């Protein structure tokens, strides 16, 4: 159905952007890969050239353009090349995005600028550059990978800068859908659950994939949107919802691990606690049900000390070498106080009180949640999303700790 159509996709060298590209390419579409990666990244797979090879292998035509969406000239150059090569642009997918789930005081200005310039400004400028050509198309779609505008303050509380930047993409939908009504369909697409990508792997840590769906669900949802007429505009679409409307009933095919509870995505619930309840109803965090029905149980006497003892016994030189971080825990409640886990010193050390050197990461939570987190009963991602866990410092090192927790779950 998209044979001969030209689809311009930002951030298409990997993940969701590439999945959308491959879906359209199977119809014989022309794909413009507008992304930054021209050389292989040590942690993130794929370049604009490897993506182009995959696109052509499934029947599409590809044009690889090195584009940093923060650079207006690079966007303009890519649009000109696309029009010169394929004769126009029929669909624009604004997928490129930057993320930092850090609070106001822990988000460096450089990171704020990155998120604002890639997410909001990049989406705006790429749309602006493509609109003159989209107006000439019979298909004429702009699709932004951004969430519904949920203004509950709790979605701003933990990561204000990221929310503002992401909502900027959604506000482009709101404004441009009205501005170009009848000429261009402008919509947003957002997943109902976490989607497993290289970025999610870095954010969620080891084991997160079992709580995610594959990128295929977003690609299929985007394809459904592209089939809609220009009058279908100004919508904030959830992937599962549109596919249900298309007649899809079996969503297990999209799960990385069918049957495993899925992690709900950001911005979809009125209150993060609702996410916890919903996950709990699917068996993700069954212990939380008891907490809602009765007062939270007090941690066992010395539970924190016992947890740290087991952690200490589990440490090896290899773990220390692989982690290279100092963690400080500010625990409230019985058996609480300040504790530390030093994974920089030889062999690793743990103890009560502040570490001798400055901590790379400070985690604040209740003693009960601390014990649950280290024993695998409470996922750190879920704890962070619901506000049970507050993190200051290096998020990448915080994620490393989750991998260590997974190794210790059985013993704890």
List residues with catalytic annotation.
162
Q: Are 339 and 331 in contact (CB under 8 A)?
A: yes
Question: Which H or E run includes 85?
Answer: helix 72-86
* Distance (Å, whole) CA 263 – CA 196: 11
* Distance (Å, whole) CA 395 – CA 401: 10
195 Rama class: left (phi>0) / alpha (psi -120 to 50) / beta? beta
CA angle 202, 205, 208 (to 5 degrees): 110
Give the residue among 296, 315, 307, 290 at the shortest CA–CA distance from 371: 307
Q: Are 66 and 38 in contact (CB under 8 A)?
A: yes
If you search the block for the tokens 């993320």, which residue do you land on?
A: 99
Residue 130: C-alpha distances to residues 18, 140, 156, 180, 405 (Å)? 19, 10, 31, 13, 47
SS3 81: helix
Strand order in the sheet with 141-144: 61-66, 30-35, 6-10, 91-94, 141-144, 185-190, 236-238
Count of residues in the chain: 412
* Distance (Å, whole) CA 168 – CA 225: 21
* Distance (Å, whole) CA 192 – CA 194: 7
DSSP-based helix, strand, coil % in the chain, nearest 5: 45, 15, 40
What does the CA dihedral 375, 154, 200, 55 come to, rounded to 10 degrees?
160
Q: Are 333 and 368 in contact (CB under 8 A)?
A: yes
Question: Which H or E run includes 364?
Answer: strand 361-366
* CB-CB neighbours of 242 under 10 Å: 20
């Amino acid at each position: 159905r998209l044979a001969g159509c030209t689809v311009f996709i930002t951030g298409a060298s990997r993940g969701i952007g590439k999945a959308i590209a491959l879906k359209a390419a199977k119809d014989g579409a022309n794909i413009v890969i507008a992304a930054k990666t021209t050389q292989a990244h040590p942690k993130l797979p794929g370049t604009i050239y490897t993506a182009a090879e995959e696109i052509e292998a499934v029947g599409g035509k590809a044009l690889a353009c090195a584009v940093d969406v923060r650079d207006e000239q690079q966007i303009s150059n890519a649009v000109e090349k696309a029009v010169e090569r394929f004769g126009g642009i029929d669909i624009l997918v604004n997928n490129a995005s930057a993320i930092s789930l850090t609070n106001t005081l822990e988000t460096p200005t450089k990171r704020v600028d990155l998120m604002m310039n890639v997410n909001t400004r990049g989406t705006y400028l790429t749309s602006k550059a493509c609109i003159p050509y989209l107006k000439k198309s019979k298909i004429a779609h702009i699709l932004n990978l951004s969430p519904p505008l949920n203004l509950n303050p709790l979605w701003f509380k933990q990561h204000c800068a990221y929310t503002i930047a992401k909502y900027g993409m959604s506000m482009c939908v709101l404004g441009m859908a009205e501005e170009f009504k009848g000429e261009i369909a402008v919509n947003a697409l957002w997943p109902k659950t976490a989607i497993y990508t290289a970025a999610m792997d870095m954010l969620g840590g080891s084991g997160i994939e079992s709580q995610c769906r594959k990128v295929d669900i977003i690609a299929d949802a985007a394809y459904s949107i592209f089939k809609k007429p220009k009058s279908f505009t100004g919508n904030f679409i959830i992937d599962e919802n549109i596919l249900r409307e298309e007649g899809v009933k079996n969503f297990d095919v999209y799960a990385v691990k069918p049957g495993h509870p899925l992690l709900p995505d950001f911005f979809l619930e009125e209150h993060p606690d609702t996410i916890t309840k919903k996950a709990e109803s699917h068996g993700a965090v069954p212990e939380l049900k008891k907490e809602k029905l009765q007062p939270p149980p007090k941690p066992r006497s010395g539970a924190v000390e016992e947890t740290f003892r087991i952690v200490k016994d589990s440490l090896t030189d290899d773990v220390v070498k692989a982690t290279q971080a100092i963690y400080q825990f500010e625990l409230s409640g019985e058996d609480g106080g300040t504790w530390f886990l030093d994974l920089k010193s030889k062999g690793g050390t743990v103890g009560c009180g502040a570490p001798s050197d400055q901590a790379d990461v400070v985690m604040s939570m209740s003693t009960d949640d601390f014990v649950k987190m280290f024993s695998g009963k409470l996922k750190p991602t879920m704890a962070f999303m619901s506000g049970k866990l507050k993190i200051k410092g290096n998020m990448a090192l915080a994620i490393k700790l989750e991998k260590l927790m997974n190794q210790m779950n059985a013993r704890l």
